[in-house]
Chains A and B, each alone.
Chain A
Amino acid sequence: MRAKSMMSLAIAGLMLVLSACGSGGASEKEADVSKDPADPFGKYSETVTINIGKEVDSADKSLPPGDSPENNVYTRYFKDNLNIDTKIIWQAGVGKDYQQKVNLAIASNDLPDALVVTDTQLRQMVKSNQLADLSEVYEQYASPVLKKIIDSTDGLAMKSVTFDGKMYALPNVTAESDMQHIMWIRKDWLDKLGLEVPRNVDELEKVAKAFVEQDPDGNGKNDTIGISGPQSGGLLNADFINPNNNNYGFDPIFGAYHAYPGFWLKGTDGKPTYGSIEPETKEALAKLRDLYAKGLIDPEMSIRKDAQELIKNGTSGIYFGLWWAGGYGPLADAIKNNPKANWQAYTLLDKNGEFTPHMGTPSNQYLVVRKGYKHPEAAIKMENLLLRDESKFDVSVGIGNYPLRIVFAPMDEMYVTYNAMKEVLAGTKKPEELDLPGYKLLKADAENIKKVKLEPYDKMDIQYWDPNADLGAWKRLYSTLVGIAPLMEPYKKTYSLTYSQTKTMESKWATLDKMEKETFLKIIMGAAPLDTFDQFVKDWRKQGGDDILKEVAEIAQQ
């Protein structure tokens, strides 16, 4: 009797599980709902629902009460214009949390209809045959402007999503200025201590020393930090998998030594090599180790939970990052705490006085549609609409709330914006003349610039700005005018031979990468002697690096 009831209990439990399994991975029947003609901006006659996974920024407080990531000004906008309804079936915090959630969805083959993924995830999904072929849909539905932007990358964007001749994702295109890392520095501290802007590593060392020792914030305490470093989990340098947007790393210092760790380069013998195993990298590491030992780099780098903290509270004097790591980064809070914090941006030059940064790839986000979803074109239509109308949106609501948003920017977007702003300030151009297709924010920027920029228009120091007039506009325009300026000079670009993983990397890269990160961090922070670099090079080659180099050589020849 008792055994029987136990059995039925177990069976009940099992059935529960089985039914749960059954609902996943269902193949939807191919109903011919859509009879709408192929129009990039066509409104569906019947509401189309798209299930998505969404990255949400917990720091974003811009949604008005009552609105949510699922129902806000943007979702209502494309509901009205396209008759598309988004359902968020799961959401996760920006960055690691979201990536992990996507990885889980891939592993369990339980995917939403559309997602934004990384290169590694895209490859895995293609390999697992989880994605819809977008070739035809793209041809039919992508708007001309969207196509033009994708074509502006000389086929790089397309190449990154094409597997066996089929297009499996819509690649984003970022402006080229998301690739070069520059130096942000407290100009008011320099002025106070009577120092010049450091332009090379030796001058940087002198300035950092002064920032640490001469109490630049004048509070009488020995609490300032010379150079900020990466936070816990952050990268010392951008690499070929994440070549863009590495804030708080040491990319400019590596660049100044012509060291490009994490990048696949053409060696002196013409054969491909890996930047991290080259002598220039050892040289740069030696310098960083020296700087760290002298206390000029944040002693708690890579352990600290949030690198921005030191910049916001006015402890740090120098950090490396992108043009947008200014206004869009920690600086809005930094000037709230200290309106006189005058952060300016410069390039760091090599010993010949040349700026030699590493360059990234225009595509690093991919919009994918699950295999079997009835309306793959819906996802593309949403991007069309975003691209066409982004400038009309009220940007007081964070644009991150636009579902499935990926960035589409002409490669030269920020350079064009920079020059246009200069012209508007000089009075040689009017906002009305700047309504160029693809340059979605240009006209709005031109209308806003005189709101936040005070005279004299040729001085960029913080006292000549009025952030309070419109903080959103200030963030963008301060970043542009201060952060893009250094990139307007000519410089020498170094590209990686490839920006995606090869076959052997799929199984071996994790180990090699871990070894590299651990070794480099230990060298810089003095936990291992500099010569462990040589052992690392040997181990790297032996544990798969040589095999990978052969594969990279094949790619490079194509």
Chain B
Amino acid sequence: MINKGFAKHYYLMLLPGMIWLTLFSIVPMFGIVMAFQDYNPGLGILHSEWVGLENFKYMFSLNDSVTILVNTLVIAVFKIVGNLVIPLVFALLLNELRLRYLKRWIQTIVYLPHFLSWVILSGILLDIFGYTGPVNQILSVFHIKPILFFGRADLFPALIVGSDVWKEFGFNTIIYLAALTGINPALYEAAAIDGATRFKRMLHVTLPGIVSAIVLLSVLSLGNVLNAGFEQIFNLYNPLVYSSGDIIDTWVYRTGLVNLQFSLATAMGLLKSVVSFLMITISYYLAYRFANYRIF
């Protein structure tokens, strides 16, 4: 049955990905042992002194630990929700557009920011929301005093989530639009003949048609529940917003790479991985249970 000559191509195509995964994801896993050691670079991970759970004990004794865990969760969860709901709504609206070229144009424009790196975008955002930037100039028309947006701990998570959703929603929209094209037009016609309004058609034809794409994207994104976006926050935060903006990744960066506390940073990283792993497992089970959806 199986054409063996053909199958080889698949493995060949798999090869770069496998090598990448091995080098960057599987091999570094041995580094986890650092979390249980007093890591000394001169001795390496094979000969460093074992300290058991000492690093974890110290980690949990820090006031920071709870703060960064909460910050990470809040920012990540809102990002996940935003990045699922807004593209979906946008895709549905776009789908109702009659003018095809306009639809294409909008689609292309909204997904352009996806290609900008946060290093560049952060500079632009800081200017836009700056003290003398456009946003504050508009506010001044309404006699509102200038707001130091990126210095306000209460506004920071909203700015982070908002700018991330703005940057990424175009990209996610495309995935939904791709799923939408897979719906049989005959269904729409049948529904129309049965007297369904456009809204009813959307509710009963479009949505069920792409539910599998929605579930897939949700399940995949749950793996990111503790990824609040290092690059974005690192380029935008400052000590004023540590209380609401410091996340696990930025903390690990500062602890490990700036302050050279390798083992402590690894311990926190490991905690993050364990929680993420649990989340993925649960979400996978939920998706199977309630949507009868399996990735594997």
What is the interface of chain A, defined by CB distance below 8 A to chain B?
Answer: 1-2, 5-6, 9-10, 13-14, 16-17, 25, 99-100, 103-104, 106-109, 120-121, 124, 127-130, 223, 232-233, 299-300, 302-303, 305, 506-507, 509-511, 514, 517-518, 521-522, 525, 527, 543
Contacts and interface: CB of A to CB of B under 8 A. Distances in A.
A16 B40 CA distance: 25
Which has the most chain B C-beta neighbours within 10 Å: A106, A299, A303, A510? A303
A303 B150 contact: yes
B273 interface: no
Contacts of A17: 22-23, 27
Contacts of B126: 303, 305
A507 B58 contact: yes
Nearest to B44: A109
Contact of A121 (B151, B260, B264): B260
B153 A13 contact: no
B257 interface: yes
A92 to B, nearest CB: 13
Interface stretch (B104-112, B197-205, B238-246): B238-246
Interface stretch (B11-19, B93-101, B174-182, B207-215): B11-19
Contacts of B64: 511, 514
Contact of A302 (B131, B152, B239): B239
A303 B22 contact: no
A521 B255 CA distance: 20
21 contacts: A5-B11, A9-B11, A9-B15, A10-B22, A16-B19, A16-B23, A100-B257, A103-B258, A103-B260, A109-B41, A127-B40, A130-B41, A299-B131, A303-B126, A303-B150, A305-B123, A510-B254, A517-B239, A518-B240, A518-B243, A525-B148
B261 A9 contact: no
Which has the most chain A C-beta neighbours within 10 Å: B151, B239, B255, B264? B239
Interface in B34-67: 40-44, 58, 62-64
Contact of A128 (B42, B62, B150, B264): B42
B259 interface: yes
B130 interface: yes
Contacts of B243: 518
B82 interface: no
Contacts of B18: 9-10, 13
B7 interface: yes
Given A13-B18, A109-B42, A299-B131, A120 B260 contact: yes
Contacts of A25: 44
A13 B260 contact: no
Nearest to B39: A107
B242 A514 contact: yes
A153 B23 CA distance: 49
B262 interface: yes
B261 A299 contact: no
Contacts of A299: 131, 146, 148
B25 to A, nearest CB: 12
B130 A128 contact: no
B240 A302 contact: yes
Nearest to B19: A13
A511 B257 contact: no
Given A2-B7, A5-B11, A299-B146, A510 B259 contact: yes
B260 A124 contact: yes
Interface string B278-294: 00000000000000000
